[in-house]
Structure 1
Amino acid sequence: MNHPHDWSEGNTLTLLENGEMFFPAVFADIRAAREEVILETFIWLDDAIGRALREALLEAASHGASVDVTVDGHGSATLGKDFIKPLTDAGVRLHVFGPMPPKLGMQPNLLHRLHRKIVVVDQRIAHVGGINFSDAHMYYYGAESKQDYSVRVEGPAVDGIRAFCAEAIGASMNKRRSSLRRLMWRVPTDWMRPRASAQALFVTRDNDRHRHDIEAVYLMGLRSARRDIIIMNSYFFPSQRFLRAMRQAVQRGARLRLVLQGNPDKGYVKFAGQTLYDYLLDMGVEIWEYTERPSHAKVAVVDDAWATVGSSNLDPFSLSLNLEANLVIRDSAFNRALRASLEHLLRRHARRVERVEVARRHPLWRVWRWLAFHLLRYFPRLARLFPVKTSRVATIEQPHSDLGSGERRIGHVEESRD
């Protein structure tokens, strides 16, 4: 197994909660760019937030900055020619992951998506998290607005993040090349010790050399836990070894709170999570349902100084199919900030699932639960039976139609494995 990249020390990390904090920060950073902007996102929509991003990118380009944007061909398929043309006219390079025309009205390779959300500015600032560029992450969107997080990074960790993003689009790696040394598999004895400066570990998952890296760092955190764990995840259906690590943490005496969606934007999400409720409650896990609005969060805090924020859910899609990126953090101040946010949500906007509620289910529920559990458990293996093309990233020089139309008149195609 290939191991995650090495830790970097001396970083300044800022927790950004929801679009109200994230968008002003990231747009200000982009507008101030003078050298380079590299951005990856799953969803970019032509709405108020999407247009604000476009204006920030155009301003950066007007200052002479090199601008590269990579979007997912399915998640951002609604971007139109009129939206894209001002960007390409300004010299912005727009890359599309999975630029394949629809077949029978459906998108091919729907199960293999670019799900990362990363921004790197002038090789000195990075943003890593789970927030897409759309109005859906703002409170004004209404009852369906999403709860989510991102991290603003300054310091040595930016080198590795920038190197990864530049390599993904085939950009020059001459500036500030990162060595990306490998992490020793053995967990250090001081794994959970608070540090004077923030340590950060940028971890990605792909379908080639880094299939299990994000799951691996989650497992390392769980196995190191001694007192308290909070995991907030929007789509939760992990592997057997992840469930085993959760059980072992509880057996060591750690309090483990799992915060799932109580008001999901997709009905099947809650059903899938509930198939595990009996098992989780029996092992001593506290299950909380966040009920204020849909949760899009993919975060965790362990004891006093370990945390992670990113794009990866703990479900078969993120752990076995999608391209993901998380930042893992060892810093007591950051941990306190994220923990305080989660504790606030638990107090004000969540309900604890009691054992008696699950016990009252109709016997037929157990049949459906058993079927759903095994279907989701083996889903990644079944999905791998479908072929995935390796030529997956197209660079659009001039748009001739909307992204979702499946146009093939593109500038060039970079060979890439997902």
Structure 2
Amino acid sequence: MRPRRSSRWVPGNQFRLLENGEEFFPRVFEAIAQARREVMLETFILFDDKIGRGLHAALLQAAHRGAQVHLLVDGFGSPDLPQPFVASLVEAGVHLRVFDPGRRLFGQRLNVLRRMHRKIVVVDGTLGFIGGINYSVDHVADFGPEAKQDYAVEVRGPIVAEMHRFVRAAVLPPEKHRLLQRASAPPPAGPADALFVTRDNHRHTSDIERHYRIALRAARERVVIANAYFFPGYRFVRELRRAAQRGVDVRLILQGQPDMPIVKTAAGLLYDHLLRAGVRIYEYCERPLHGKVALADDAWATVGSSNLDPLSLSLNLEANVVIRDRGFNATLYERLDHLMRRGCRQVEPAPRGAWEGLRLLRGYCVYHLLRWFPAWAGWLPRHRPTISLVGADPARPGPAGTR
């Protein structure tokens, strides 16, 4: 069952920005451990390290207190959870499901396409969390220079009901989801209007990108995008250039110390084309950037799991919130401005020289090749991943489909 998502703004919400694991993990673990009725959690990565064990303990505490606990992990992102880790959850009554577990060939994972990349938590139908932070130790500073810079939000208010309905439908078998009563929306909690926006491989293939492009077209003063994996399609690049050319202060914060070298190489192919239009580019150099956040003017913002690359925009299952609130926008801008001033180097246009023509030709070719993206995604394998309940009878697999 795929719930319909509303395209209208939902008023009365409160958003709290959580920067990095130091702010995110304590809030999530506390909320889960204190759950009275239900915990619904989706994550791309869950590892058996000190962070994963912290989540494990909180889930067990909720289950032992009588809460219904549903955990969905991705089969590619969380492939090696040890048997004792899993068994203790299942024995406590946690409903652990794996999205497209896949099989290995000569030790290699082949199920690399169309991953469940969302990171969502809903507790008791009234408190939500969404963002880009996985449950692994590389999201806290004491991991060292490779610790990731990232963001999430804590959510209260009526928009949590939409998150709740979506995660229930994604995690629970259709027959069980249909039997559940529709929960009432939480009462208003703050001044923010919000949208819960997802991307899938069926009816919502471009929703997240579309909201970015709407914000770029509407921007009049400033746009700041901080995104870890940046290689968007032609229409997105065109809107960035058009915004800058009409006088909007457009800034990109991208990886300067990438976790994968190809990330910086791919983004760098667009630099000349964007810089020549007036877009300002900053590379974050203190540690790998993993954030997926943006703001426009003084009210619009988005936080979620979606990168701006082919995987997130055309293949993976993603979820963002879009927020319209001056207070939240100001807080996010303050954090990003601090990042740009203290941890980034601004990319300057390459000096003109003997290779100017070759560089311009390369930029022209890359830009126009992007016209084919994301249409090419339809050519890639479109299998229907399964969601398997761990500990269930293997003759009765979990529900199928990319939700």
**Alignment counterpart, residue 172 of structure 1, candidates 153, 177, 187:** 177
Q: Who is 1:261 aligned against?
A: 255
State the 1:30 CA deviation: 0.3
State the 1:385 CA deviation: 3.0
Q: Who is 1:312 aligned against?
A: 306
- Secondary structure of the corresponding residue to residue 29 of structure 2: helix
Deviation track 1:274-320 (CA, whole Å, cap 9, x = no partner) reads 00011001111001101110000110011110000000011111000
State the 1:380 CA deviation: 5.0
Report the AA paired with residue 12 of structure 2: G
- Whether 2:339 is the aligned partner of 1:337: answer no
- CA distance 1:278–1:268, change in 2 (3 Å): same
State the 1:105 CA deviation: 3.4
State the 1:94 CA deviation: 0.7
Q: Who is 2:144 aligned against?
A: 142
- CA distance 1:363–1:144, change in 2 (3 Å): farther
- Secondary structure of the corresponding residue to residue 30 of structure 1: helix
**Alignment counterpart, residue 276 of structure 2, candidates 256, 278, 282:** 282
Do 1:3 and 1:213's aligned partners in 2 also have CA atoms closer than 8 Å? no
- Whether 2:108 is the aligned partner of 1:103: answer no
Q: Who is 2:399 aligned against?
A: 414
- CA distance 1:368–1:66, change in 2 (3 Å): same
Q: Who is 1:67 aligned against?
A: 69
Q: Please give the alpha-carbon distance, in whole angstroms, between the structure 1 residues aligned to 2:17 and 2:87.
A: 34
Deviation track 1:354-381 (CA, whole Å, cap 9, x = no partner) reads 1136878798777876777677765655
Deviation track 1:254-287 (CA, whole Å, cap 9, x = no partner) reads 1000111000010000000000011001111001
CA RMSD for the aligned pairs? 2.5
Do 1:11 and 1:154's aligned partners in 2 also have CA atoms closer than 8 Å? yes
Q: Who is 2:123 aligned against?
A: 121
Do 1:4 and 1:213's aligned partners in 2 also have CA atoms closer than 8 Å? no
Report the AA paired with residue 144 of structure 2: G
**Alignment counterpart, residue 222 of structure 1, candidates 195, 209, 216:** 216
State the 1:112 CA deviation: 1.2
Q: Please give the alpha-carbon distance, in whole angstroms, between the structure 2 residues aligned to 1:229 and 1:157.
A: 25
- CA distance 1:313–1:357, change in 2 (3 Å): farther
Do 1:211 and 1:320's aligned partners in 2 also have CA atoms closer than 8 Å? yes
Do 1:111 and 1:383's aligned partners in 2 also have CA atoms closer than 8 Å? no
Q: Please give the alpha-carbon distance, in whole angstroms, between the structure 2 residues aligned to 1:296 and 1:358.
A: 33
Deviation track 1:4-37 (CA, whole Å, cap 9, x = no partner) reads 6322111111000000000000001001101000
State the 1:176 CA deviation: 3.6
State the 1:392 CA deviation: 1.7
- Secondary structure of the corresponding residue to residue 198 of structure 2: strand
State the 1:225 CA deviation: 0.5
Report the AA paired with residue 217 of structure 1: H
Q: Please give the alpha-carbon distance, in whole angstroms, between the structure 1 residues aligned to 2:68 and 2:294.
A: 34
**Alignment counterpart, residue 49 of structure 1, candidates 32, 37, 51:** 51
Q: Please give the alpha-carbon distance, in whole angstroms, between the structure 2 residues aligned to 1:18 and 1:353.
A: 25
State the 1:106 CA deviation: 2.9
Do 1:396 and 1:410's aligned partners in 2 also have CA atoms closer than 8 Å? no
Q: Please give the alpha-carbon distance, in whole angstroms, between the structure 2 residues aligned to 1:265 and 1:250.
A: 29
State the 1:168 CA deviation: 0.6
- CA distance 1:3–1:413, change in 2 (3 Å): closer
Do 1:316 and 1:376's aligned partners in 2 also have CA atoms closer than 8 Å? no
Q: Who is 1:205 aligned against?
A: 199
Do 2:273 and 2:363's aligned partners in 1 also have CA atoms closer than 8 Å? no
Quick check: 218-227 or 100-109, which moved more? 100-109
- CA distance 1:373–1:397, change in 2 (3 Å): farther
Q: Who is 1:405 aligned against?
A: none
Do 2:99 and 2:385's aligned partners in 1 also have CA atoms closer than 8 Å? no
Do 2:200 and 2:317's aligned partners in 1 also have CA atoms closer than 8 Å? yes
State the 1:231 CA deviation: 0.4
Q: Please give the alpha-carbon distance, in whole angstroms, between the structure 2 residues aligned to 1:111 and 1:59.
A: 34
Do 1:16 and 1:151's aligned partners in 2 also have CA atoms closer than 8 Å? yes
- CA distance 1:369–1:251, change in 2 (3 Å): closer
TM-score (norm 2): 0.91
Q: Who is 1:351 aligned against?
A: 345
- Secondary structure of the corresponding residue to residue 84 of structure 2: helix
Q: Please give the alpha-carbon distance, in whole angstroms, between the structure 1 residues aligned to 2:395 and 2:53.
A: 23
- CA distance 1:213–1:379, change in 2 (3 Å): closer
Quick check: 208-217 or 249-258, which moved more? 249-258
- Whether 2:308 is the aligned partner of 1:323: answer no
- Secondary structure of the corresponding residue to residue 286 of structure 2: coil
- Secondary structure of the corresponding residue to residue 177 of structure 2: coil
Report the AA paired with residue 259 of structure 1: I
The number of residue pairs the alignment matches comes to 393
- CA distance 1:367–1:255, change in 2 (3 Å): closer
Gaps in structure 2 of 5+ consecutive residues? none
Q: Please give the alpha-carbon distance, in whole angstroms, between the structure 1 residues aligned to 2:382 and 2:401.
A: 11
Do 1:233 and 1:296's aligned partners in 2 also have CA atoms closer than 8 Å? yes
Q: Who is 1:187 aligned against?
A: none
Q: Please give the alpha-carbon distance, in whole angstroms, between the structure 2 residues aligned to 1:360 and 1:350.
A: 29
Q: Please give the alpha-carbon distance, in whole angstroms, between the structure 1 residues aligned to 2:95 and 2:177.
A: 14
Q: Who is 1:94 aligned against?
A: 96
State the 1:64 CA deviation: 0.6
- Secondary structure of the corresponding residue to residue 351 of structure 1: strand
- Secondary structure of the corresponding residue to residue 388 of structure 2: strand
